[in-house]
Amino acid sequence: MKRPGCWKMLAVAVCMVLLAGLQAQDLQGHVSVILLGATGDLAKKYLWQGLFQLYLDEVGKGYSFSFHGAALTSTKQGQEFVAKVLESLSCPEDVAPERCAELRGRFQQRSQYRRLRTSEDYMALSKDIEAQLQHEGLREAGRIFYFSVPPFAYADIARSINSSCRPGPGAWLRVVLEKPFGHDRLSAQQLATELRSFFQEEEMYRVDHYLGKQAVAQILPFRDQNRKALDGLWNRHHVERVEIIMKETVDAEGRTGFYEEYGVIRDVLQNHLTEILTLVAMELPYNVSSSEAVLRHKLQAFQALRGLHKDSAVLGQYQAYSGQVRREQQKPDSFHSLTPTFAGILVHMDNLRWEGVPFILMSGKALDERVGYVRILFRNQAYCAQTETRWVADQSQCLPRQIVFYIGHGELGSPAVLVSRNLFRPFLPSGSWKEVEDRPGLRLFGRPLSDFYAYSPVREQDAYSVLISHIFHGRKDSFITTENLLASWAFWTPLLDSLAHEAPRLYPGGAENGHLLDFEFTGTQLRFSQQQPEQLVPGPGSAPSPSDFQVLQSKYRDSPLISAWPEELIAKLADDIEATAMRAVRRFGEFHLALSGGSSPVPLFQQLATRHYGFPWAHTHLWLVDERCVPLRDPESNFQGLQAHLLQHIRVPYYNVHPMPVHLHQRLCAEEDQGAQMYASEISALVTNSSFDLVLLGMGTDGHTASLFPQSPAGLEGPQPVVLTRSPSKPHQRMSLSLPLINRARKVAILVMGRMKREITLLVSRVGHEPKKWPISGVLPSSGQLVWYMDYEAFLG
């Protein structure tokens, strides 16, 4: 039976499809890629190969390309160099050699070298591109400028591109930048501002090549594709810790000029490891393919990072490093570098998902192996009734449960995603990931490989090839936006500043490091597991060591004085506070504690938070001795300090926490708002006789205490229990308990620490009752007890 109508329709449909195909080809247009620094190391090792891969992937899809290698090298030399590199380009394994040679030949035809120095050179390049487009009748799709040059060259090149080499209307411009992106927050900000004067944010692609590593690039898709299994697991209730590790065997020889300025934290942690951290920690966007959503969630993760302090880090330096710097940088024999080549950092996140989960970041040069991985170790909450030899990998809940994104190298030798069999069978797209065959005898993270569902990429790809493809497709989520960059520097800069003069622990390098670099953590503190190996043998007349002293008890201003080394002093004070609290709760059912702000009590708060599990917090009321007139969320606020170092780690009923009302009616400490009176009424309503069980005070170098300052009469006497005062230092406006109220307390403890307090300690020991000159001298509880707690530095100088 003939059906001419059908044939006709089919023919029309085929024609339309073909036409649409042709139009699509036409529509894709021409892309010019300009590789700046085309004769450099990175270009030779990765970038030319990445561009060839781009050509192979995209040219059949209707795009046409031209590749311009550019550098300052003379035309002849540059041409020779590029020709040699192009000869060595390789194809994926599945491309037959003849086909590969043919494709390479075509790529070579599309590639040329040119010298680019002046803005006229850039103008000439632009003209040549336009002429080529016209000659070949092509529509311009866009231009990619890949900056594989040192950052000091950025500004000039950026200016020339912006003024003379932008593509015509309707075509896009993408500029690709390589780190370092600054040295700290300020320099990163300056560089970013400079670049923003030439390029739009969406035109810039800052590379972090770790985001192109296949295992790293798989973190978000893995979380997305295994949402159901991970939903209940990816949180503080189940994750014991996260390790983000990049170990290297190489050292910094040959690069000490760069390395001296940067060190391991700036070189690796601030960028590669931090990026990975955000991928693990961020809230998973509903649509992980949306660059915009991924970047937004990443920024939110940055906001949840808890600030780092000196104790969050351990630093090391391989022994040969200083010698290498002396040789390469022509430094004198006496030169010793403080630059760390090894760092372990403990990071915490302040959000409901991750609160309390340690994230360990570690990287170093001259270590025993080259390996990179992200390991999520889950808590083990099971008890197994059978003996261990009968545990079966996919059933026993007693075996370790972990998910590892294995970035590469190490025992396994290739990127992989590993999931313990007792967790769940993961989904990975079979087109790009395949199951790894078992390798009997191979153990990873304490378990045989067979304990894991293990997947590796079907086709291993270099990070730069992956990223070049993402640049081409405009996938901005694989790159570092300005906001992202500045957020990362804002996180790292305070730590870098505080560590600038710290001497790193020396390590021999390689396997000989033994356990020297092992570290451990308690609470928020990190320290090396082994004591520094050099023993300090105290010779005659040498400085006393902590163990030479015990907690001393004597008198100061006729009141008991407890004196010790800082750690013991804090431990003693915390014990005394707990004992006072227990007594008060036994007798009255509640304990009213008024706390000062500033830096001295911070170790006390930490001690209470991490060592005093029997503290009767549920029956404790917390009051503030004084407050700065700033919003309570301001980092300067005393309440904020209390929140960061104590409140968030303990369980105090929220109605027992009494911040000072410094922020009322959207203004700060206005007399008319009567905040001081409100606080006084709250005290009088809740605290029997307005008599606190314990008031913790400090002493300033000018003799101030609470926010009662010399030469300022407010609060020294009179009927007002709570007063507004002025401090000589910023922020000037304060709210404070008055001396008379303080003196009603059952117990007052004054904590004085540090060498800076030596002079005032001496002075106040001699003066009488002169609160106008030295408010601290007015602290004299009418019927309560006063105890001084001083460390040796404050007391003995």
Catalytic residue list: 272
| 3-class DSSP assignment, residue 777 | helix
Q: Which is nearer to ligand BG6, 46 or 774 (CB)?
A: 46
Q: What does the block give as tokens for 143?
A: 């231009």
Applying the rule CB under 6 A, the residues between 229 and 248 that interact with ligand BG6 are 248
680-688 long-range CB contacts below 8 Å, 24 or more apart?
A: 680/720, 680/721, 680/722, 680/741, 682/658, 683/623, 683/721, 683/722, 683/741, 684/721, 686/592, 686/621, 686/658, 687/592, 687/621, 687/623, 688/588
Q: Which of residues 247-266 bind ligand BG6 (CB under 6 A)?
A: 248
Question: How many degrees, rounded to 5, is the angle at CA 384 between CA 382 and CA 390?
Answer: 140
Quick one: 375 or 757, whose CB is closer to ligand BG6?
A: 375
Q: How far is the CB of 268 from ligand BG6 (least distance, A)?
A: 6
Beta strands at 447-448 and 239-247: parallel, antiparallel or unpaired = unpaired
Burial class (CB in 10 A: 0-12, 13-18, 19+), 67: buried
Residue 262 CB, nearest distance to ligand BG6 (Å)? 8
Minimal distance in Å, beta carbon 147 to ligand BG6? 15
Q: For residues 140 and 248, which CB has a smaller minimum distance to ligand BG6 in the complex?
A: 248
Q: Which of 202, 186, 191, 188 is nearest to 154 (CA)?
A: 191
Which residue has the CB atom at the shortest distance from ligand BG6?
A: 267
Residue 250 or 552 with smaller CB distance to ligand BG6: 250
Q: Which is nearer to ligand BG6, 268 or 294 (CB)?
A: 268
Site string for ligand BG6, 366-385 (x = CB under 6 A): ------x-------------
Residues 6 or more apart from 585 whose CB is under 8 A from it? 591, 616, 619, 620
Q: With respect to ligand BG6, which residue has the nearer C-beta, 259 or 617?
A: 259
Q: Give the closest residue to 618 by CA, choosing from 645, 650, 587.
A: 650
In this complex, which beta carbon is closest to ligand BG6, that of residue 248 or of residue 590? 248
**Residue found under tokens 């995209």:** 58
Report d(CA 42, CA 176) in Å as an integer. Answer: 13
* DSSP structural state of residue 548: G
Smallest gap from residue 624 Cβ to ligand BG6 (A): 46
> 86 or 268, CB closer to ligand BG6?
268
Contact of 317 with 479, CB cutoff 8 Å: no
CB 403, min distance to ligand BG6, A: 21
Give every CB contact of residue 55 below 8 A, 6+ residues apart in sequence: 65, 67, 103, 106, 107, 110
Of residues 267 and 627, the one with the C-beta less far from ligand BG6: 267
User: Quick check: 229 and 424 in contact, CB under 8 A?
Assistant: yes
Interface residues for ligand BG6 in 462-521 (CB under 6 A)?
A: none
CB of 372 vs ligand BG6, minimal distance in Å: 6
Q: Minimal distance in Å, beta carbon 146 to ligand BG6? A: 16
Closest CA to 724 of 784, 763, 669, 666: 669
**Interface pattern 320-359 for ligand BG6 (x via CB under 6 A):** ----------------------------------------
DSSP string, 421-442: TTT-PPP--TTTEEEPPP-TT-
Residue 181 CB, shortest distance to ligand BG6, in Å, is 12
Residue 208 CA to chain centroid, in angstroms?
15
Binding letters toward ligand BG6, positions 698-737, x by CB under 6 A:
----------------------------------------
Please state the closest distance from residue 341 (CB atom) to ligand BG6, in A. 10
DSSP lists the bridge partners of residue 787 as 749
Between the CA of residue 536 and those of 94, 173, 464, 542, what are the distances in Å?
A: 63, 62, 50, 10
Strand bridging mode 140-147 / 111-115: unpaired
Report in angstroms the alpha-carbon separations of 296 from 215, 292, 293, 483.
22, 6, 5, 10
- By CB under 6 A, the count of residues binding ligand BG6 is 4
Q: Is 626 an interacting residue with respect to ligand BG6 (CB under 6 A)?
A: no
Q: Which is nearer to ligand BG6, 409 or 421 (CB)?
A: 409
How far apart, in whole angstroms, are the C-alpha atoms of residue 82 and residue 76? 10
How many whole angstroms separate alpha carbon 645 and alpha carbon 307?
11
Q: Which residues contact 529 (CB under 8 A, 6 or more apart)?
A: 515, 518, 519, 520
**In whole angstroms, how close is the CB of 248 to ligand BG6 at the nearest point?**
6
- In the list 260, 267, 477, 627, the residue contacting ligand BG6 (rule: CB under 6 A) is 267
Applying CB under 6 A, the residues found at the interface with ligand BG6 are: 248, 267-268, 372
